[in-house]
Amino acid sequence: MDDLELQRLVENISMKSFRKQFRHKAYFNPRLRSTGGRYMLDTHHIEINRKYFEQLGHNELCGIIKHELCHYHLHIEGKGYKHKDQDFKFLMKEVGAPRFCSVLPDQPRRNVSRKVIFYICKDCGQVYKRKKRMNTQKYVCGKCRGKLMMKQELTIG
């Protein structure tokens, strides 16, 4: 599929699902890595990641297009076009657009490891769990204003 065929497909989906014309450009963007598509607020163009079409097929591509067209039509009409907006959520449900695109089969799963640090108050024994290190000379216990000391640092995952 080339950019011209993609443009026609986006125009067809816009007319069938939204009953509105798509008056801007749709094209494949080879630089997209972590997303299936993108609606450009300033130009109103839609960019699509070709890998999603190649690896997951026509149905996935149509879902991505519907999702981006929800952003497009709501933005053009001056309604809530962001993911958190009720207008967006309602329109996505109405046209059957997916909230997220599927994970690509060739995408490696990221190994997510988290650091957890435990601090304890020397006076009252209150335990604090933190994601980042903190300066124990600067901060005191919120319960009794006693001195804090690092108890343990764990890496999870």
C-alpha R_g of the chain: 24
Active site residue 94: no
Among 5, 54, 68, 94, the active-site one is: 68
Distances (CA, A) of 78 to 15, 41, 45, 82, 127: 19, 12, 16, 11, 49
What number of CA atoms fall less than 13 Å from residue 145's CA on the CB side? 0
Identity at 74, one-letter amino acid code? L
State the CB neighbour count (10 A cutoff) for residue 103: 9
Task: For the beta carbon of residue 142, count every other beta carbon within 10 angstroms.
Answer: 11
- Cα distances from 64 to residues 4, 13, 54, 58, in angstroms, run 17, 11, 13, 10
* Catalytic residue numbers, as ranges: 68
